[in-house]
Amino acid sequence: MSARELFSFRNPHTRTAVSVTAFVFLLSALIGFVLLPLAQPHLQLAGLWDAICSAAGVPRGVASTAAPPAEPTSKVVLTSATLAHPSQQSIGRGATLAQRCAICHGPTGISRADSPNLAGQYAAVIYKELADFRSGARVNAVMTPFATNLTDQEIADLAAYYAYLPRLPAFHPEPPRAPGTIVVYGAPSRGIAPCGSCHGSLDNKTGSPWLEGQSAVYLKAQLEAFASGQRRNDISAQMRNIARAMTSAEIEEAAAYYASQPAEVVKAVE
Amino acid sequence: MLVNRRLILAHFWLAFAVFGLALLLGAWQMFVRSPLHTWLSNPEWYYRSLTAHGTVMGYVFPTLVAMGFGYAIAESSLQQRLIGVRWAWTGYGLLAIGAVMAMVPVALGRASVLYTFYPPLIGNAFYYIGVVLVVVGSWVWVALMSVNLYAWKKAHPGEVVPLPMFANVAGSYLWAWTAVGAALELLFQIIPVALGLKSTIDAGLARVFFSWTLHAIVYFWLIPSYIAYYTIVPRAIGGRLYSDTMARISFILFLVVAMPIGIHHVFADPMVGAGFKFVHSAFTALVAVPTLLTVFTICASVEIASRLRGGRGAFGWVRALPWDNPIMLAVTFSFVMLGFGGAGGLINMSYQLNTTIHNTQWITGHFHLIFGGAIVIMYFAIAYDLWPHLTGRALTDLRLMRTQLWLWFIGMIVTTFPWHYVGILGMPRRMAYYDYTNPALAPEAIQVTISVIGAVILVISGALFLTVLIRGQRTPQADSGPYRFSVALHPPTSLPAVLNSHGLWIALMIALTITNYGFPILNLAARSGTSVPAVYVGAQ
Amino acid sequence: MSLEAQDHHDGAAIAARTERRWAIMSVVIIVVLTLLAVVAGLHQVTMPQARVETADPARLHLAGEFMESNLGTEVGADGAVTVRAIGQQYSFTPACILVPVDTPITLRATSADVVHGILVQGTNINTMLVPGYISEQFMRFHATGDHLMPCQEFCSFGHEGMWGKVRVIDKAAFAARAKAGGRLSCVGE
pLDDT in tens, C23-58: 999 999 989 988 887 888 778 678 899 999 999 999
User: B348 at the C interface (CB within 8 A)?
Assistant: no
Contact call for B429 and C26, based on CB within 8 A: no
Rounded to whole angstroms, the Cα distance separating B384 from B390 reads: 10
Residue A63 lies in a domain: no
- Residue A266 confidence (pLDDT) above 90: no
For B36-87, write each residue's pLDDT tens digit. Answer: 999 999 999 999 999 999 999 999 999 999 999 999 999 999 999 999 999 9
Contact call for C26 and B292, based on CB within 8 A: yes
C107 and C130 Cβ atoms separated by less than 8 Å: no
B168 and B145 Cβ atoms separated by less than 8 Å: yes
Beta bridge partners of B249: none
Catalytic residue flag (residue B251): no
The residue of B116, B280, B291, B358 whose CB has the most chain C CBs within 10 angstroms, and thus the best one to mutate to test that interface, is B358
Helix, strand, or coil here: B2?
coil
Break chain C into its structural domains and give their ranges: 1-45, 53-178
Name the C residues in 109-148 with CB < 8 Å from any A CB: 112-113, 148
Contact call for A242 and C91, based on CB within 8 A: yes
CATH assignment of the domain containing A173 = 1.10.760.10
State the DSSP H helix or E strand holding residue A53, giving kind and residue range, or none if neither: helix A48-56
| Structure confidence at residue A85 as a pLDDT band (50, 70, 90) | confident
- pLDDT confidence of residue A66: 64
Chains that touch B (3 or more CB pairs under 8 A): A, C
- pLDDT confidence of residue C5: 67
The count of CB pairs under 8 A between chains A and B is 133
Q: Which of B43, B272, B286 sits opposite A194 (nearest CB)?
A: B43
Chain C: nearest CA to B31, how far in angstroms? 16
- pLDDT confidence of residue A8: 81
How is C137-148 classified by DSSP, letter by letter?
Answer: EEE--SS-EEEE
B160 and B501 Cβ atoms separated by less than 8 Å: no
Contact call for B203 and C117, based on CB within 8 A: no
Q: Mutual orientation of helices B163-184 and B61-78 as an angle, nearest 10°?
A: 150
- pLDDT confidence of residue A1: 47
- pLDDT confidence of residue A65: 66
A261 φ/ψ sector (left φ>0, alpha ψ -120 to 50, else beta): beta
Residue A76 lies in a domain: no
Count: domains in chain A: 2
For C111-134, write each residue's pLDDT tens digit. Answer: 999 999 999 999 999 999 999 999
Closest CA to B170 of B67, B285, B234, B248: B248
For A136-179, write each residue's pLDDT tens digit. Answer: 999 999 999 999 999 999 999 999 999 999 998 887 788 889 99
Which residue of chain A is at minimal alpha-carbon distance from B516? A25
Q: How far apart are the first and last CA of chain B?
A: 54
For A178-215, write each residue's pLDDT tens digit. Answer: 999 999 999 999 999 999 999 999 999 999 999 999 99
Name the A residues in 94-153 with CB < 8 Å from any B CB: none
CATH assignment of the domain containing B329 = 1.20.210.10
Collect all residues of chain A within an 8 Å Cβ-Cβ radius of residue C61: 73-75, 235-236
How is A161-226 classified by DSSP, letter by letter?
Answer: HHHHS--PPPSS--PPPPPPHHHHH-BGGGTB--THHHHSSS-B-TTPPP-TT--HHHHHHHHHHH
- Residue B330 confidence (pLDDT) above 90: yes
**Would you tell me how many other CB atoms lie within 10 Å of the CB of residue B89?**
15
Chains that touch C (3 or more CB pairs under 8 A): A, B
The residue of B263, B276, B352 whose CB has the most chain A CBs within 10 angstroms, and thus the best one to mutate to test that interface, is B276
**Would you tell me how many other CB atoms lie within 10 Å of the CB of residue B180?**
16
Beta bridge partners of C166: C97, C147
Ranges B399-403, B446-450, C6-10, C70-74: which has the least confidence: C6-10
The one-letter amino acid at A104: C
- pLDDT confidence of residue A265: 72
Rounded to whole angstroms, the Cα distance separating A269 from B495 reads: 65
Name the B residues in 443-472 with CB < 8 Å from any A CB: none
- pLDDT confidence of residue B202: 97
B64 and B138 Cβ atoms separated by less than 8 Å: no
- pLDDT confidence of residue A109: 93
For B435-481, write each residue's pLDDT tens digit. Answer: 999 999 999 999 999 999 999 999 999 999 999 999 999 999 999 89
State the DSSP H helix or E strand holding residue A90, giving kind and residue range, or none if neither: helix A88-97
B518-522's contacts with Cβ under 8 Å and 24+ in sequence apart are: B519/A56, B519/A57, B519/B276, B520/A57, B520/B208, B520/B263, B520/B272, B520/B273, B520/B276, B521/B205, B521/B208, B521/B209
The answer to whether the bond into A107 is cis (omega within 30° of 0) is no
Contact call for A189 and B435, based on CB within 8 A: yes
In the set B156, B309, B429, B471, the catalytic residue is B429
How is B414-471 classified by DSSP, letter by letter?
Answer: HHHHHHHHHHHTTPBSS-S---TTSTTTHHHHHHHHHHHHHHHHHHHHHHHHHHHHHH
Collect all residues of chain A within an 8 Å Cβ-Cβ radius of residue B203: none
Count: domains in chain B: 1
Rounded to whole angstroms, the Cα distance separating A169 from C22 reads: 78
| Structure confidence at residue B540 as a pLDDT band (50, 70, 90) | very low
A268 φ/ψ sector (left φ>0, alpha ψ -120 to 50, else beta): beta
For B147-191, write each residue's pLDDT tens digit. Answer: 999 999 999 999 999 999 999 999 999 999 999 999 999 999 999
- Residue A18 confidence (pLDDT) above 70: yes
**Would you tell me how many other CB atoms lie within 10 Å of the CB of residue B77?**
22
Helix, strand, or coil here: A269?
coil
Mean pLDDT of chain B: 96
Range of the domain at A134: 88-265
Catalytic residue flag (residue B59): no
Average pLDDT in the B414-430 region? 97
Compute φ and ψ for A206, nearest 5 degrees: -50, 125
| Structure confidence at residue C159 as a pLDDT band (50, 70, 90) | very high
Collect all residues of chain A within an 8 Å Cβ-Cβ radius of residue B503: 3, 6-7
Cα distances from B106 to residues A197, B109, B131, B538, C163, in angstroms, run: 18, 5, 12, 11, 27
Q: Supply angle C-alpha B228, B229, B231, rounded to 5.
A: 60
How is C14-82 classified by DSSP, letter by letter?
Answer: HHHHHHHHHHHHHHHHHHHHHHHHHHHHHTT-S---S-BEE--GGGTTTSSTTSGGG-EEEE-TTS-EE
In the set B264, B265, B366, B502, the catalytic residue is B366
Let me know whether A123 and A227 are in one domain.
yes
Residue B535 lies in a domain: no
Let me know whether A117 and A187 are in one domain.
yes
Name the B residues in 418-457 with CB < 8 Å from any C CB: 425-426, 428-434, 438, 440-441
* Torsion sign over Cα C34, C36, C42, C46: negative
Contact call for A45 and C92, based on CB within 8 A: no
- Of all residues in chain A, the percent with pLDDT exceeding 90 is 75
Residue A68 lies in a domain: no
Residue C11 CA from chain centroid, whole number = 52
Name the A residues in 41-70 with CB < 8 Å from any C CB: 42-43, 45, 54-55, 57-62, 64-65, 67-70
Ranges A64-73, B201-210, B228-237: which has the least confidence: A64-73
State the DSSP H helix or E strand holding residue C166, giving kind and residue range, or none if neither: strand C163-169
Helix, strand, or coil here: B313?
coil
Range of the domain at B79: 5-477+504-530
Half-sphere exposure at residue B307, Cβ-oriented, CA atoms within 13 angstroms = 11
- pLDDT confidence of residue B231: 97
Collect all residues of chain B within an 8 Å Cβ-Cβ radius of residue C58: 532-533
B205 and B119 Cβ atoms separated by less than 8 Å: no
User: B159 at the A interface (CB within 8 A)?
Assistant: no
Closest CA to B510 of A23, A21, C87: A21
Q: Is the pTM of this model over 0.90?
A: yes
Percentage helix, strand, coil for chain C under 3-state DSSP, each rounded to 5:
30, 30, 40
- pLDDT confidence of residue A270: 40
Closest CA to B367 of B298, B459, B265: B265
Catalytic residue flag (residue B368): yes
Collect all residues of chain B within an 8 Å Cβ-Cβ radius of residue A54: 273-274
User: A249 at the B interface (CB within 8 A)?
Assistant: no
Let me know whether A108 and A20 are in one domain.
no
CATH architecture, domain C53-178: Sandwich (2.60)
- pLDDT confidence of residue A102: 94
User: B90 at the A interface (CB within 8 A)?
Assistant: no
Contact call for A198 and C158, based on CB within 8 A: yes
Collect all residues of chain C within an 8 Å Cβ-Cβ radius of residue A45: 50
Closest CA to A232 of A121, A116, A130, A139: A139
| Structure confidence at residue B487 as a pLDDT band (50, 70, 90) | very high
Beta bridge partners of A58: none
| Structure confidence at residue A63 as a pLDDT band (50, 70, 90) | low
The one-letter amino acid at B76: S
Which residues, at least 6 apart from B65, have a Cβ–Cβ distance to it below 8 Å?
A: B11, B12, B15, B224, B379, B382
Closest CA to B150 of B219, B84, B217: B84
Cα distances from B187 to residues B132, B175, B181, B197, in angstroms, run: 8, 18, 10, 12
**Would you tell me how many other CB atoms lie within 10 Å of the CB of residue A218?**
18
* Torsion sign over Cα C87, C93, C95, C96: negative
In the set B319, B430, B490, B527, the catalytic residue is B430
- Of all residues in chain A, the percent with pLDDT exceeding 70 is 94
The one-letter amino acid at A15: R
Residue A64 lies in a domain: no
